[in-house]
């Protein structure tokens, strides 16, 4: 009994000890992009570009922004308040000016980076949360991942936090990203999840925060087609419970570290 008690003591956490908070940091930097015509998920990253000024970008799927009508959308974030709580924060962000998009678009993949207002209230992850090509060698089929999303526009609470889901990498091979830009994750995906960040469950960025290995592109379905008559054909789409994910490393090809994009003015949503 004495030996057992000693063992329990050794493996018990010390008072005041904290577990890894990478998932919490991910949730703080995950925001909804909302528009009457389209809604998706984004991750805010912070990059210091060539002029030395830090700038924030919302990383998402390009189709989320393309499908939005009008010249702006609302970014749903949170601001910390005195006492340790949070307050919902909605910021209107321009997405078009004079009919031209204001976001950066990957030339070959469904990825986008939307410049954000220079607001200190918008939580962001350091740019090195995005893996380099060398770090891709650490990912393997079957690895556990976490996904932060807003399925069907739903939020985890009234403050506006995303929902954190779990899954595992479900396809092979994964590298090189240029040859295999998309991989699969064994987790249910819904409309509204597009653009959601996928973090590795155990690997961490150089800063100790979450390592974003992917960006949700959409869900994988199978389609059943039934010919009901000579002129009527009915198609039913069945979700497989699989998310299609683009390598987050591709974001590095999209955001330059020189010739910085001018961020839009800070405008509160009305």
41 and 27 Cβ atoms separated by less than 8 Å: no
235 in a structural domain: yes
* Distance of alpha carbon 123 from alpha carbon 111, whole angstroms: 21
For residue 57, what are its two tokens?
A: 């970008």
* Count of structural domains, the chain: 1
239 and 118 Cβ atoms separated by less than 8 Å: no
Q: Mean pLDDT across the stretch 136-147? A: 96
Q: What is the pTM of this model?
A: 0.85
pLDDT given at position 12:
38
| Band of pLDDT at residue 175, cut at 50, 70 and 90 | very high
pLDDT given at position 205:
95
260 and 104 Cβ atoms separated by less than 8 Å: no
User: What are the pLDDT digits (tens) for 191-207?
Assistant: 999 999 999 999 999 98
10 in a structural domain: no
135 in a structural domain: yes
- Reported as half-sphere exposure (CB side, CA atoms, 13 A), residue 187 has a value of 29
72 and 94 Cβ atoms separated by less than 8 Å: yes
- Host domain of residue 71: 22-268
- Using the predicted structure, report yes or no on whether residue 4 has a pLDDT greater than 60: no
For residue 36, what are its two tokens?
A: 């009457």
CATH of the domain at 191: 2.40.10.10
User: What are the pLDDT digits (tens) for 209-240?
Assistant: 999 999 999 998 777 788 888 788 888 777 78
257 in a structural domain: yes
* Mean of per-residue pLDDT scores for the chain: 87
Mean pLDDT is lowest, of 43-52, 67-76, 104-113, 204-213, for 43-52
- Using the predicted structure, report yes or no on whether residue 190 has a pLDDT greater than 80: yes
104 in a structural domain: yes
Mean pLDDT is lowest, of 8-17, 44-53, 196-205, 233-242, for 8-17
13 in a structural domain: no
């Amino acid at each position: 009994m004495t030996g057992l008690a000693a063992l329990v003591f050794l493996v018990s956490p010390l008072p005041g000890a904290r577990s890894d908070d990478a998932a919490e940091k991910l949730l703080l930097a995950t925001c909804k992009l909302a528009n009457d015509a389209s809604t998706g998920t984004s991750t805010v990253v912070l990059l210091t570009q060539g002029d030395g000024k830090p700038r924030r970008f919302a990383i998402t799927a390009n189709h989320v922004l393309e499908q939005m009508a009008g010249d702006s959308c609302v970014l749903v974030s949170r601001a910390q308040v005195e006492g340790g709580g949070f307050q919902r924060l909605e910021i209107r962000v321009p997405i078009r000016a004079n009919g031209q998009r204001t976001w950066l678009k990957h030339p070959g993949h469904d990825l986008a980076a939307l410049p954000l207002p220079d607001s200190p209230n918008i939580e962001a992850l350091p740019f090195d949360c995005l893996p380099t090509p060398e770090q891709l060698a650490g990912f393997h089929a079957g690895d556990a991942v976490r996904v932060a999303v807003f399925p069907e526009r739903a939020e985890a609470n009234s403050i506006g936090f995303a929902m954190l889901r779990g899954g595992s990498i479900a396809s092979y091979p994964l590298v090189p990203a240029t040859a295999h830009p998309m991989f699969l994750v064994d987790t249910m995906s819904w409309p509204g999840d597009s653009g959601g960040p996928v973090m590795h469950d155990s690997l961490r960025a150089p800063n100790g925060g979450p390592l974003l290995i992917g960006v949700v592109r959409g869900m994988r379905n199978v389609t059943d087609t039934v010919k009901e008559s000579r002129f009527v054909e009915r198609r039913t789409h069945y979700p497989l419970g699989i998310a299609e994910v683009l390598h987050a490393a591709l974001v590095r090809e999209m955001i330059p570290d020189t010739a910085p994009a001018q961020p839009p003015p800070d405008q509160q949503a009305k």
